[in-house]
């Protein structure tokens, strides 16, 4: 878990051992702040930019060689507004390859979301 700067939000990596064998790692940005989530949604609607394309741009800047990453958006059972992506591997990756993929995706999430809505905090 990494805490976002200036706002009440976290970037997370979660392991889902019950999920499909090739999609067990989730990278997410979560916040309990409804207004923060809505500010992100509003900016995406106003610009017309799909979040997947914005994330894809950040991943490309970081040298991502994996497949496209879909983004889910929902309110969790813990009442956290969640944007998340599952990392799927065609084959069982080495520990180093898995760590590199997770790190790259986590950095891309931070770079993508810090530009959206009120994530930058107050001016």
pLDDT in tens, 61-96: 999 988 888 999 999 999 999 999 998 877 777 888
- pLDDT (tens digit per residue) in 54-63: 999 999 999 9
Q: What mean pLDDT comes out for the span 97-122?
A: 87
Average pLDDT, the chain: 87
| Residue found by looking up tokens 């760590």 in the block | 99
Please report which confidence band the pLDDT of residue 117 belongs to, taking 50, 70 and 90 as the band edges: confident
Per-domain residue ranges for the chain? 2-113
Label each residue of 54-71 as H, E or C: HHHHHHHHCCCCCCCCCC
Q: What mean pLDDT comes out for the span 15-34?
A: 81
Q: Which residues pair with 15 in a beta bridge?
A: 25
pTM of the model: 0.87
Q: What is the predicted pLDDT for the residue at 3?
A: 67
């Amino acid at each position: 878990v990494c805490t976002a700067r200036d706002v009440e939000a976290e970037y997370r990596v979660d392991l889902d051992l019950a999920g499909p064998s090739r999609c067990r790692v989730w990278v997410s940005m979560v916040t309990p702040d409804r207004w923060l989530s809505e500010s992100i949604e509003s900016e995406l609607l106003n610009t017309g930019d799909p979040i997947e394309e914005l994330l894809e741009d950040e991943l490309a800047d970081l040298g991502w060689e994996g497949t496209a990453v879909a983004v889910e958006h929902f309110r969790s059972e813990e009442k956290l507004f969640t944007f998340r992506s599952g990392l799927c591997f065609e084959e069982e990756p080495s520990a180093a390859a898995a760590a590199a993929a997770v790190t790259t995706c986590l950095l891309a999430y931070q770079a993508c979301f810090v530009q959206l809505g009120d994530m930058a905090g107050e001016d």
